[in-house]
Structure 1
Amino acid sequence: MKIPKFADLVLFENDDIIVVNKPPFIASLDEREGGEINMLRLAKQYSYDAQVCHRLDKETSGALIIAKNPEAYRSVSIQFEKRQVKKVYHAVIEGTHVFENLFIDLPILDKGKGNVSINRQDGKRAETWFNSLKFFKHYTLVECRPVTGRMHQIRIHLASQQAIIAGDDMYRGKPVFLSQLKRKYHLGKDQEEMPIMKRFALHAYEVSFKLLNGEEVTIHAPYPKDFETLLKLLDKFDS
């Protein structure tokens, strides 16, 4: 995989904060000692004291806040703790689902090693709002606004509504193939068809928070190429 230039990912920067459009397949933080490249390492090469303020799943693309100094890190961390950071995600889900300010309040238990479950007894509070943005024949583009920030929160909350994110095999989501959408689709001899997206279709679309001077900013992260391609093909062949 080609490692992106950190400077090319920057959506916003001042003396204290950087917001980047995280590419898919790059972890936010060190997953293992001496492991592969991640956003924290890339950020530290760019700005020596950089700290990643929150985490996105490795496959999830989009807006990631990075602090350039301890004071900024503390400020953003407190905003996350007080649930003052507003996050908007976009997801492509399987099937047609009409969500109009659907509020999901289901506690999530972190079982370790990237496994979570809905657990009303031992889980931690988890709240997400959902709105349908666009309907295709077999899929729906959905806006997700998590209030809390539990691991896999959006993914498992959608799965609880039988609205699984396309390509999210952990929750039994299936990848989208062009042959499913396009009539008379022909593959060359000995060619294996690849899915349109090689990951689950979730993107951190927007983030709003306060800078150290008290000014509120909203940073919007454009779709990466794979997400944009999926939506274009759904528009063309599945609308």
Structure 2
Amino acid sequence: MNEIKTKVQYVDIDTDMAGQRIDNFMRNQLKNVPKSLIYRIIRKGEVRVNKKRIKAEYKLQAGDIVRVPPVKLEETEQKEVPNTKLNKVAELESCIIYEDDHMLILNKPSGTAVHGGSGLKFGAIEALRALRPEARFLELVHRIDRDTSGILLVAKKRSALRHLQAQFREKTVQKYYFALVLGQWKSSCRVVNAPLLKNEVNSIVRVNPNGKASETRFKIIEKFVDATLIQASPITGRTHQIRVHTQYTGHPIAWDDRYGDRRFDAYTGKVGLDRLFLHAANIKFAHPATEEKMDISAPMEAKLEKVLQKLRT
């Protein structure tokens, strides 16, 4: 089996890269390299900072010069880089709804995972890196489900990543989703507080008193004969939170393959729906550099709008 050897690199650490551990820095520099190999080359002293050996927990400082050593990899270990000529990759360029020097905001299509793995060659973040080969840093700020469409924040600087993730932790980010749910949602149901527990084997999430505290706020947007378009705002950020909380109230989301109702899927399929009707439509947060209040909206795809038009008639 053929081997590929990378070239030695010397990276100047600026203020944006400072503060992170050397092991995490190396994992970002050598994205296709197994974690065990990264720790081995650090332990053996092949990774140097200012020409000196360091330990894995060393925190980088502005002005440091890091030697990234050459590593040998079998060709099979090399991850396939997304081809920017592929339709699915190229179309992401038109899905960028905001971009500056600090961040990028994507209106992610349904069916596109946020990152590769679990049999997927690539996701949105790998595709964006292929589309922006000159970008030194591109990292996901948060995640949304593969079948959910809408707003996805990507940081272009480490300082922006830290600032934005801090806002998510402190719950100062406001997120609003549109969801089409089964039946008539009651106007009195404005908040669902129900702890969620994730099964680590199959990733199914259930309401469980032993789970993590979870809160979602709801608002009716439009009522149809057998369905309701609602706005959902998750206060906490648990896996599948909106999907499970709507199921818990007796109103699962249309075309939800894990928590849905097949009869509802058949009903909405007649008006042209063939995907999960959950869309991250709006987000409000502070800009990571200027502190300016950002209010970003992402339009629903035409298919979802047509479904709503047909439900009205």
Between 1:35-44 and 1:143-152, the stretch displaced more is 35-44
- For residues 178 and 154 of structure 1, do their structure 2 counterparts lie closer, same or farther at Cα, with a shift above 3 Å needed? closer
Counterpart position of 1:55? 143
Alignment of 1:207 onto 2:283: yes
Counterpart position of 1:74? 162
Alignment of 1:147 onto 2:232: no
Alignment of 1:229 onto 2:294: no
Between the aligned partners of 1:137 and 1:180, the Cα distance in structure 2 is 14
Match runs of 1:45-194 below 5 Å? 45-47=130-132, 48=135, 49-100=137-188, 102-112=190-200, 113-121=202-210, 123-174=211-262, 175-177=265-267
Q: Is the 8 A contact 2:220 2:230 kept in 1?
A: yes
Between the aligned partners of 1:197 and 1:179, the Cα distance in structure 2 is 5
| Higher gyration radius (CA) | 2
Q: Is the 8 A contact 2:141 2:153 kept in 1?
A: yes
1:101 deviation in Å?
6.1
Counterpart position of 1:37? 122
Q: Is the 8 A contact 1:166 1:176 kept in 2?
A: no
Provide the secondary structure at the position in 2 that maps to 1:72: helix
Q: Is the 8 A contact 1:18 1:67 kept in 2?
A: yes
1:125 deviation in Å?
1.1
1:139 deviation in Å?
0.6
Between 1:15-24 and 1:93-102, the stretch displaced more is 93-102
Gap regions ≥5 residues in structure 1: 182-195
Provide the secondary structure at the position in 2 that maps to 1:56: coil
1:179 deviation in Å?
7.8
Between the aligned partners of 2:102 and 2:183, the Cα distance in structure 1 is 42
Between the aligned partners of 1:81 and 1:18, the Cα distance in structure 2 is 20
Amino acid at match of 1:201: F
Counterpart position of 1:186? none
Between the aligned partners of 1:94 and 1:140, the Cα distance in structure 2 is 7
Q: Is the 8 A contact 2:254 2:268 kept in 1?
A: no
Q: Is the 8 A contact 2:92 2:108 kept in 1?
A: no
Amino acid at match of 1:74: R
Counterpart position of 1:21? 107
1:42 deviation in Å?
1.5
Counterpart position of 1:192? none
Superposition misfits of 4+ residues, deviation over 6 angstroms: none
Comparing both chains, which one has the higher relative contact order based on Cα–Cα distances under 8 Å and sequence gaps of 6 or more?
1
Between the aligned partners of 2:240 and 2:233, the Cα distance in structure 1 is 13
TM-score normalized by the length of structure 2: 0.66
Provide the secondary structure at the position in 2 that maps to 1:77: helix
**Number of residue pairs aligned between Structure 1 and Structure 2:** 220
1:2 deviation in Å?
4.2
TM-score normalized by the length of structure 1: 0.86
Gap regions ≥5 residues in structure 2: 1-85
1:99 deviation in Å?
3.0
1:162-201 deviations in Å (ceiling 9; x for gaps) = 01101113113231447856xxxxxxxxxxxxxx222221
Amino acid at match of 2:140: V
